Chains A and B, each alone.
Chain A
Amino acid sequence: GIQVEQSPPDLILQEGANSTLRCNFSDSVNNLQWFHQNPWGQLINLFYIPSGTKQNGRLSATTVATERYSLLYISSSQTTDSGVYFCAVDMRFGAGTRLTVKP
């Protein structure tokens, strides 16, 4: 089955900093989504992005399907951005990036 790898596994930022999270996958993709899992366990849908670039406020994402990777950009990070960010390719989740934003 498809393999999904996320990096870095952990990231600590000061409030206001920018960051880039990466998702590599091993096969062609039908569906790629980025999720934020908040401290209450909810999985919040950030982007549905099997290809191309999208932006939503301080967040943006790019998927280059031919090179089998996707990037999630977080700008001007806030403490509320803390949590685990998952990339899911088809029905396979990566191990996630745990982001901690310090005030």
Chain B
Amino acid sequence: AAGVIQSPRHLIKEKRETATLKCYPIPRHDTVYWYQQGPGQDPQFLISFYEKMQSDKGSIPDRFSAQQFSDYHSELNMSSLELGDSALYFCASSLGRWKPQHFGDGTRLSIL
């Protein structure tokens, strides 16, 4: 069965640079979520979209923005990167807002 696809799998950036993470949800899933997991921590919810509209907002920094496109894929844009942004970024998708979330394998972002 098709799963959530995230790209790239690994990304290395320097401080103050920008990064864009992409997420392709499971076909027909209409809801996308973004999470950030720091080393040794639990995943923290950043933001979610339902039918291309922002539905919930968590602890997403102002330096970050995200959107969901007409084909339901989503992108997380990160600017003015800081050392503390080094983390594993997960995207999840679901068919409906409170339905089971299926996670991608994550993008590991390292800031040098």
- Given the interface contacts A41-B88, A43-B90, does A94 sit within 8 Å of B102 by beta carbon? no
Q: Are B100 and A48 in contact (CB under 8 A)?
A: yes
**What is the number of contacts between chain A and chain B, taking CB atoms within 8 Å?**
45
Q: Considering only CB atoms, which chain B residue lies closest to A48 in the complex?
A: B100
Determine the distance from Cα of A74 to Cα of B43 in the docked complex, in whole angstroms: 23
Determine the distance from Cα of A94 to Cα of B42 in the docked complex, in whole angstroms: 7
For the complex formed, measure the closest distance between the CB of A24 and the CB atoms of chain B, giving whole angstroms.
15
Q: Are B99 and A86 in contact (CB under 8 A)?
A: no
**0/1 string, B73-112, CB within 8 A of A gives 1:** 0000000000000001010000000111111011010000
Whether B38 is near chain A, meaning CB under 8 Å from some CB there, is no
| A contact set with B: CB distance below 8 Å | 30-31, 33, 35, 41-43, 45, 48, 50, 86, 88, 90-96
